[in-house]
């Protein structure tokens, strides 16, 4: 069977990520986005576990869905209790959902130590719960908790638990690597054995404690699993779960499996970014497929090859998952990096100019600049080298700062190449040296806003520079970042803000020129 079903558990397992808490509105928003993406099953949470989930399941009833099936999550009945008296079961029925995931123990060690009951009672708990739901025409996905650990220690009992769920009517048997410590070879062997025993259809739910959740998921599919349980960005308790953003592209593009998401895979990066925003987690730039650096090329030889044919250094076209190709400029660059940078911005340059920009880039990085962290410093270098400011204005500045009652006061002397070579003094006050300099320079009057200024020490340097200041700003309706270097934070801030002043002048001249044309 070539079809693989995608089951997302971001709203339940993903919500167990340290520091993550979804509001009801967040959860409804995620459901709508995952439905749009073509996810087959969306696990909504545990009805009755908290007031938030109760409200979520109530409001979910009025949310129209195009494709996805929302699943309630619950556990097997409690030991020694009749299923009809089980409160979680009543909560599940109250959702009016037609799909329910039931987690049950399949590791004898867990049955005896965690549940503190006997093995036969655990099987009865599985049987009663699954049958209760099936008698009410609810699709049941049996989550075989700790299955792979149970299979390693007592395979007969682990398989008996699966048989019990299947005979009671379970529609899916989901094999869970709950502790996340299994190896791909172990997962593949266990899944194959389950299928050989006539059990299925089978799903895989892998945690990432061993860094193998994605690999274990793909090995399980190769061995016969036809459902993958994943979370967006690999969210989940401890080290997280298998990442939907890696698992699904691999299934579709590498393993050639049929997934409903295949038609919408170009929306993957935007969904990933949206979840990072909702959770407040900093995006992982190096996340496969959807990370900012996933298709970023730095080495000059690589860039030269990519410009000939992207397949030489890319395993997949970036736009297949909604990403984009990026070429970085640094001391490792070659002329191809500079040429790509200029072409992507519609800037024409001769071979000699490209070589001069490359020389200045390498010189700047040797001095201590990190141009990948400061795109506007690179733009400033290019603008200067190509005289994009038409020679109108270049700045040189010096400054002195001292403490005052309001914070820090800076006196800044400007020398602007306007023909008169007159020093133009200005004064500004701020909470930091950089903010005081920013105000002294009058950037606010130009509509610019200082967002942040981060100072770091250059630990190892054979140059005079000992300090970096990275300044983030917004000006002319554009976000920007420049980096200054110096022997202390003041001189580094002067360097950064002088770049910014020149750059804004260059941009204004270019804008005026374009308007005139």
Q: Half-sphere exposure of 464 toward its Cβ, with a 13 Å CA cutoff? A: 4
Which residues belong to CATH 3.30.160.270 in the chain? 395-516
Any bridge partners for residue 328, and if so which? none
**434 with 453: CB under 8 angstroms?**
yes
Q: Is 283 left (phi over 0), alpha (psi -120 to 50) or beta?
A: beta
Q: Residue 511 has what pLDDT?
A: 73
State percent of the chain over pLDDT 90: 79
CATH number for 395-516 (one of 2.70.70.10, 3.30.720.200, 3.30.110.30, 3.30.160.270): it is 3.30.160.270
Confidence check: pLDDT of 202 > 90: yes
Confidence at residue 404, expressed as pLDDT on a 0 to 100 scale: 78
pLDDT in tens, 230-241: 999 999 999 999
For residue 254, give every residue at least 6 positions away whose Cβ sits within 8 Å of its Cβ, in sequence order, or none: none
- Whether the Cβ atoms of residue 380 and residue 390 lie closer than 8 Å to each other: no
pLDDT for 106 equals 98
Highest mean pLDDT among 76-80, 135-139, 464-468: 135-139
pLDDT score for 293: 97
- Residue 390 confidence (pLDDT) above 70: no
pLDDT band of residue 461 (cuts 50, 70, 90) is low
What are the Cα distances from residue 400, in Å, to 27, 49, 83, 403, 425? 52, 61, 78, 11, 11
At 514, the pLDDT band (50, 70, 90 cuts) reads: low
Average pLDDT over residues 244-268: 97
Contact of 496 with 437, CB cutoff 8 Å? no
On whether the CB atoms of residues 392 and 512 are closer than 8 A, the answer is no
Q: Please report the pLDDT score of residue 405 as a whole number.
A: 76
301: pLDDT confidence band, cut at 50, 70 and 90? very high
pLDDT recorded at residue 73: 98
What pLDDT is stored for residue 459 in this prediction?
A: 66
- Enter the pTM of the model: 0.88
What confidence tens digit (pLDDT) does each residue in 397-451 have? 777 887 777 778 888 776 665 555 555 677 888 888 899 889 988 888 888 999 9
Mean pLDDT of 508-515: 71
Q: Which residue spans of the chain are classified as CATH 3.20.20.70?
A: 5-279
Which residue(s) pair with 468 in the sheet? 456, 485
> Is beta strand 395-404 parallel, antiparallel or unpaired with respect to 407-416?
antiparallel
The residue-averaged pLDDT of 111-139 equals: 97
**pLDDT of residue 510 exceeding 80:** no
Q: What is the pLDDT of residues 311-358, one digit of tens each?
A: 999 999 999 999 999 999 999 999 999 999 999 999 999 999 999 999
Closest CA to 56 of 40, 41, 44: 44
10 Å CB burial of residue 183 (0-12, 13-18, 19+) is: middle
Please report, for residues 240, 335, 338, 482, the alpha-carbon distance to residue 342 in angstroms, rounded to integers and kept in the order given: 40, 11, 6, 19
Q: Which two tokens stand for residue 347?
A: 């800037």
Check whether 465 has a pLDDT greater than 80.
Answer: no
The CATH-assigned architecture of domain 5-279 is: Alpha-Beta Barrel (3.20)
DSSP of 4-42, one letter per residue? -EEEE-TTTTGGGSTT----HHHHHHHHHHHHHHT-SEE
pLDDT confidence band for 477 (50 / 70 / 90) = confident
Percent with pLDDT over 70 in the chain:
94
């Amino acid at each position: 069977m070539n079809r693989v079903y995608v089951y997302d558990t971001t709203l339940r397992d993903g919500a167990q990520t340290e520091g993550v808490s979804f509001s009801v509105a967040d959860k409804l928003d995620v459901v709508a986005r995952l439905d749009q993406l073509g996810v087959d099953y969306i696990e909504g949470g545990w009805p009755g576990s908290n007031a938030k989930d109760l409200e979520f399941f109530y409001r979910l009833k009025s949310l129209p869905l195009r494709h996805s099936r929302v699943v309630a999550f619950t556990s097997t009945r409690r030991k020694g209790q009749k299923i009809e008296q089980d409160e979680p079961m009543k909560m599940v029925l109250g959702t009016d959902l037609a799909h329910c995931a039931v987690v049950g123990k399949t590791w004898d060690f867990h049955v005896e130590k965690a549940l503190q009951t006997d093995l036969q009672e655990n099987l009865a708990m599985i049987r009663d719960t699954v049958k209760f739901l099936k008698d009410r025409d609810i699709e049941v996905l049996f989550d075989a908790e700790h299955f792979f650990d149970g299979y390693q220690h007592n395979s007969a009992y682990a398989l008996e638990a699966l048989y019990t769920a299947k005979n009671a009517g379970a529609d899916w048997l989901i094999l869970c690597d709950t502790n996340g410590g299994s190896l791909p070879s172990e997962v593949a062997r266990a899944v194959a054995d389950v299928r050989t025993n006539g059990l299925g259809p089978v799903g895989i739910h892998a945690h990432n404690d061993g860094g193998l959740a994605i690999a274990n998921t793909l090995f399980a599919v190769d061995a016969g699993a036809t459902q993958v349980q994943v979370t967006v960005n690999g969210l989940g308790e401890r080290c997280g779960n298998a990442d939907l953003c890696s698992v699904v592209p691999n299934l579709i593009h590498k393993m050639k499996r049929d997934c409903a998401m295949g038609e919408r895979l170009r929306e993957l990066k935007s969904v990933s970014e949206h979840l990072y925003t909702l959770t407040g987690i900093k995006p992982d730039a190096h996340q496969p497929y959807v990370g900012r650096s996933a298709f970023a090329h730095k080495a000059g030889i690589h860039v030269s090859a990519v410009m000939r044919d992207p397949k030489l250094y890319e395993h997949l076209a970036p736009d297949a998952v909604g990403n984009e190709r990026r070429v970085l400029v640094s001391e490792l660059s070659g002329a191809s990096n500079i040429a790509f940078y200029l072409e992507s911005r519609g800037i024409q340059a001769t071979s000699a100019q490209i070589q001069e920009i490359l020389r200045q880039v390498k010189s700047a990085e040797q001095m201590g600049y990190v141009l990948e962290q400061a795109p506007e410093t690179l733009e400033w270098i290019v603008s200067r080298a190509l005289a994009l400011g038409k020679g109108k204005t270049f700045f040189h500045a010096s400054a002195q700062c001292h403490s005052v009652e309001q914070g820090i006061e800076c006196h800044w002397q400007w020398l602007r190449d306007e023909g008169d070579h007159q020093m133009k003094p200005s004064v500004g006050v701020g909470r930091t040296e950089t903010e005081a300099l920013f105000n002294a320079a009058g950037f606010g009057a130009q509509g610019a806003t200082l967002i942040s200024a981060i100072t770091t020490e250059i630990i190892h340097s054979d140059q005079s520079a000992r300090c970096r200041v990275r300044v983030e700003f917004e000006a002319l309706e554009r976000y920007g970042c420049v980096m200054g270097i110096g022997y202390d934070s003041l001189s580094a801030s002067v360097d950064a803000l002088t770049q910014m002043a020149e750059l804004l002048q260059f941009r204004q001249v270019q804008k005026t020129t374009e308007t005139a044309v």
